Structure 1
Amino acid sequence: MHNSEVLAARSLRQVWPAIAGLAAVFLFEMLDNSILSVALPTIGADLHASTTALQWVTGSYALVFGGFMLVFGAVADRYGRRRIMLAGLVLLGLASAATAAVTTAEQLIAVRVVMGVAAAMTTPGAMALAFRLFDDDGLRVRALNIITTVGVVGLAAGPTAGGLVLRVAPWPVLLLINVPIAALAFAGIKRGIAADAPQELHRDPIDVAGAVLGTAAVLLLLSAPTRFVEDGARSATGWAAAVAGVIAVALFVVRQRRAAYPLLDLGLIARPLVAGGLAYKAAQGLGTASLTYLVSLQLQLDWGWSPARAAIGMLPQVVVLLAGGAVVSPFVRRAGLGTAAWISSASVVTGLAVYAALGTYGYLWVAVALVLVAFGTRMVGVVAVTNVMRGLPAERTTVGAALIDTASQITTGIGIAGVGTVLAARFTGSIAAGNWSAAQTEQFGNAVRIGGFGVTALAAALSLWAFLRARGAEPAADGSR
């Protein structure tokens, strides 16, 4: 299949191998940590791992994944999105297969680091390649919707599937599952997507200093929230990481402004469609992470629900995330991308406000908040990606996709750290101890309102700014936005 034939595709069926391969990439991304979470106690016992080591089993993957996306996005735009993705899938398969030989926690962490690198190589390219399959926005939305729906299924089914697998097989099987997923993705992309055309790439030299500063900034900003959640608002390591991250961001910006061949052209981010899409995605990541974190604590620690009952309590969110895929394409087709973007973000903000104001008064309000935020999340995930891709020149789409994921990862961390810090400041005693006193329950409720309204205000500000920035912005005939 030649590149011109791919771009001329007029139906999803015409490029189904490519869509299947890209969907497998998103399945891996979403399934990975969710399926492994239920196995952490088993892994700890089998490998005699400490609590800190178990945290790094999942944390090392997330840090490397988030930290290296921007670099590999820039590399893919220069040397080929398909080429980098196929290499990443090979690396994923090899790293996952190596799990069978793991005997210590340190070895497993090393495997997870390599898997994080593989994820950074594959995920941004998946969105860029999906976008370029068509030149029609309606088909692009439908393709992205299918691909992300498969990922959401993996996210929702991961814990249940992991628990069932552990009943009949050892825990390494949960990571060995990635081997056939990587093989499916490799076959679909190899067959369904041609190599990048020269005019869709650019040949600027890699800005090594910018890559180092950008990666360091993201790693520091992602690690700081973890320290605040674990050690509280007075965490010295948390503040050190946060301050160092801000300094690294400032140095990165200065470097990009002065470099002859910057890693990231800051002018691209200033484009209305790009800036608006990134802000919408940031608001969604902030809101979803904060709500999920607070509701999980409330159901189990405040209300005393068992883990199984709490999982059932989160079902409204899961159902909407899964079923919402059937609504995305028709809604966007009727309302348009711009209207769909602000309506979905308004749904997230409204859900956060409902929870902050009424969430402690009964489960009905919790369920309403979960449904509203899940609906907005499901919609904005597709719309924001489409808008950012539309706002970028063809040779910069992968770094744009990396920016989307990076913005979501960082605001997810900020959201959890923000509400976690408020809880640490307002709550006396150990929040994880359970059997709270009446005073502790009141303190938790106050923290939910303060943290919840704070997150609501920040998400609303991001959404409003995105709306104003992207309003009326459409791709021009010459490709500029």
Structure 2
Amino acid sequence: MQATSLRAVWPAILGLSVVFLVEMLDNSVLNVALPTIARDLNASASDLQWITTGYSLLFGGLMIAFGAIADRFGTRRVMLLGLGLFALASLAVLAVRTPGELVAVRAAVGITAAMTAPGTMALCFRLFDQENLLMRATAFISTVGLVGLAVGPTVGGLVIQVLPWQTLLVLNVPIALLAIVCIRSGIPADDPAQRNRAPMDLPGALLGTATIILALWTATLAVEDGWAQLAPWPAGAGALLCGAGFVMRERSTAHPMFDFALIRRPKVSAALAYQAALGLGMAVLTYSVTLQLQLVWGWSPAQAALGSLPQIIVMIAIGPFVEKIVERLGAHRAGVIGSAAAIGGLLTYALLGRYQYVWVAVALALTAAGMRVVMVIAAITVMRGLPEDQTSMGAALNDTSQEVAGSIGMAVTGTIVAAAISGSVTGIAADPHAFENAVTTATLALTAVCAALVVWAARRSSSPQLSLSATH
């Protein structure tokens, strides 16, 4: 029986919200403790790199594989198992004595977080049949995550002032336990009739996972080391080879992990194109704004953090109004207008952001408002466009498309900036105009790609017109 209000299923909404919250926190909260970790564990720069990227690589790379597993063995079951293992992996930080041990713990946390990620949206869809309630729940859950993203570094900084840095991971334990209790009590058990009965394609899962991890790692190496170094090239070649192998495997096997015919559906392909466009746009702002505020304009880290707040504030503030915007304009028109606002924000930053902070704030606000609307519409559309026995895969595909696009955007921006300045990012202060010109070039280039994706998605979804009704 479907719920008739969010209040009727508040334990489930609370559980799913805190799952998304902890995913957002784990992406950022530990970064503030890296200097302390380096001192306590005598960690090198390479160690710190693996501590931060080990989590994100495995989290982003394994979501699709765990989405496929959840569709076959039960989304709720995999979510609860993942939360339990996530708590144990986080608690293991208390035994860490060396940088290598911390890297292993972060990898385990990333793997277990990937187990829970696809279930957040998939289980939310299990609760509601009415589209307005589904949109309201999706907006609420994502708003909680954005609040965590906004306050994570601040909370982390306050915590390590009075407690050991290990506390930042140990705090995951009570959060995971709360989510387990809420989900067990608020979401019905998996219905065997709704599971994907196809055998699990293990070679396809391994090839797909390797492709994503290597692609993310290539982008990371390109940003940190530059293409002049050897490291990104073998990783990129490996990603291409694994990707080709994945496509060949999925097209030839009788039971593919993911049927490529599904992403040729107009609604699904349009929504994924919107998500990729947003990932590219978010990447250039994430990379450039903080560097500009600190290294070009001389702001302190605290001031730079405050300077980035318009994006988070607008995303949080507009959340409750997404449903009304879509109801008034229609999903198709709201998606187009939201995308136009995001592109307008990118153009504002590219052309005017170097002159005064007010233009940076306007750019952040416009992109945030547009992205917030489009994110919710695209996520729901991907889920509604796939069969019921592949909802976890749909949620994983939605998140992964944005994450991979974001990594590509970061690599492109970092490459263009590195080509314009000498040495590391600290060279920005020595030649700020070169940095500003490089950021303008990168932003305009990625904005052009974003616009092309948006135009293609709008055309793809306009006939038949994009709506949020189920089309299984």
Query: TM-score, normalized by length of structure 2?
Result: 0.97
**Aligned equivalents of 2:168, 2:274: Cα separation in 1:** 33
Matching of residue 446 in structure 1 with residue 440 in structure 2: no
Matching of residue 394 in structure 1 with residue 388 in structure 2: yes
Question: Conserved in 1, the CA contact under 8 Å of 2:156 and 2:168?
Answer: yes
2:398 maps to which residue?
Answer: 404
2:449 maps to which residue?
Answer: 458
Counterpart of 1:42 (choices 32, 36, 42) is 36
**Aligned equivalents of 1:22, 1:473: Cα separation in 2:** 32
**Aligned equivalents of 2:387, 2:464: Cα separation in 1:** 15
Matching of residue 193 in structure 1 with residue 187 in structure 2: yes
What amino acid maps onto 2:142 in structure 1? T
1:70 maps to which residue?
Answer: 64
What amino acid maps onto 2:453 in structure 1? L
Pairwise CA distance, 1:86:
0.3
What amino acid maps onto 1:166 in structure 2? I
**Partner-residue secondary structure (3-state), 1:266:** coil
**Aligned equivalents of 1:477, 1:303: Cα separation in 2:** 44
What amino acid maps onto 2:234 in structure 1? A
1:31 maps to which residue?
Answer: 25
Question: Conserved in 2, the CA contact under 8 Å of 1:233 and 1:425?
Answer: no
Counterpart of 1:233 (choices 204, 218, 227) is 227
The worse-fitting range, judged by mean Cα deviation, of 404-413 and 316-325 is: 316-325
1:146 maps to which residue?
Answer: 140
**Aligned equivalents of 2:262, 2:49: Cα separation in 1:** 36
What amino acid maps onto 1:198 in structure 2? P
What amino acid maps onto 1:273 in structure 2? K
What amino acid maps onto 1:234 in structure 2? A
The worse-fitting range, judged by mean Cα deviation, of 374-383 and 58-67 is: 374-383
Counterpart of 1:471 (choices 446, 462, 468) is 462
**Aligned equivalents of 2:470, 2:427: Cα separation in 1:** 57
**Aligned equivalents of 1:477, 1:292: Cα separation in 2:** 30
What amino acid maps onto 1:191 in structure 2? S
Counterpart of 1:158 (choices 145, 152, 155) is 152
Structure 2: where are the runs of 5+ without partners? none
RMSD between superposed Cα atoms in Å: 1.7
1:202 maps to which residue?
Answer: 196
Question: Conserved in 1, the CA contact under 8 Å of 2:140 and 2:320?
Answer: no
Matching of residue 341 in structure 1 with residue 332 in structure 2: no
**Aligned equivalents of 1:198, 1:57: Cα separation in 2:** 39
1:271 maps to which residue?
Answer: 265
Q: Trace 1:258-407 onto structure 2 (pairs within 5 A).
A: 258-407=252-401
Matching of residue 110 in structure 1 with residue 91 in structure 2: no
1:19 maps to which residue?
Answer: 13
Pairwise CA distance, 1:300:
0.7
CA offsets 1:340-384 (integer angstroms, 9 cap, x no match) = 222222221111111111111221211111111111222222111
What amino acid maps onto 1:106 in structure 2? G
What amino acid maps onto 1:428 in structure 2? S
Question: Conserved in 2, the CA contact under 8 Å of 1:273 and 1:474?
Answer: no
1:170 maps to which residue?
Answer: 164
Pairwise CA distance, 1:478:
12
What amino acid maps onto 2:110 in structure 1? G
Pairwise CA distance, 1:480:
4.2
2:240 maps to which residue?
Answer: 246
Matching of residue 413 in structure 1 with residue 404 in structure 2: no
What amino acid maps onto 1:91 in structure 2? L
CA offsets 1:277-327 (integer angstroms, 9 cap, x no match) = 111111111111211211111111111111111112112112112212122
CA offsets 1:96-151 (integer angstroms, 9 cap, x no match) = 11112211111111111111111111011111111221111111000011111110
What amino acid maps onto 2:146 in structure 1? V
**Aligned equivalents of 1:256, 1:444: Cα separation in 2:** 43
Question: Conserved in 2, the CA contact under 8 Å of 1:284 and 1:376?
Answer: no
Structure 1: where are the runs of 5+ without partners? none
**Aligned equivalents of 1:279, 1:18: Cα separation in 2:** 30
Change (3 A) 1:170 1:476: closer
**Aligned equivalents of 1:121, 1:313: Cα separation in 2:** 34
1:212 maps to which residue?
Answer: 206
Counterpart of 1:9 (choices 3, 11, 23) is 3
Question: Conserved in 2, the CA contact under 8 Å of 1:27 and 1:150?
Answer: yes
**Aligned equivalents of 1:200, 1:477: Cα separation in 2:** 21
Question: Conserved in 1, the CA contact under 8 Å of 2:416 and 2:438?
Answer: yes
What amino acid maps onto 2:292 in structure 1? Q
Pairwise CA distance, 1:473:
3.9
Question: Conserved in 1, the CA contact under 8 Å of 2:421 and 2:427?
Answer: no
**Partner-residue secondary structure (3-state), 2:426:** coil
Pairwise CA distance, 1:396:
0.6
Query: TM-score, normalized by length of structure 1?
Result: 0.95
**Aligned equivalents of 1:184, 1:380: Cα separation in 2:** 30
Counterpart of 1:51 (choices 38, 45, 52) is 45
What amino acid maps onto 1:443 in structure 2? A
Question: Conserved in 2, the CA contact under 8 Å of 1:47 and 1:105?
Answer: yes
CA offsets 1:15-51 (integer angstroms, 9 cap, x no match) = 1111111001101110112211111111111111111
Change (3 A) 1:206 1:164: same
**Partner-residue secondary structure (3-state), 2:340:** helix
**Aligned equivalents of 2:355, 2:121: Cα separation in 1:** 41
What amino acid maps onto 1:448 in structure 2? V
Question: Conserved in 2, the CA contact under 8 Å of 1:273 and 1:470?
Answer: yes
**Aligned equivalents of 1:397, 1:225: Cα separation in 2:** 28
1:181 maps to which residue?
Answer: 175
CA offsets 1:424-454 (integer angstroms, 9 cap, x no match) = 1122344314642xxx222112201110101
Change (3 A) 1:10 1:313: same
Pairwise CA distance, 1:243:
2.4
Question: Conserved in 2, the CA contact under 8 Å of 1:278 and 1:407?
Answer: yes
Pairwise CA distance, 1:199:
2.5
Pairwise CA distance, 1:78:
0.7
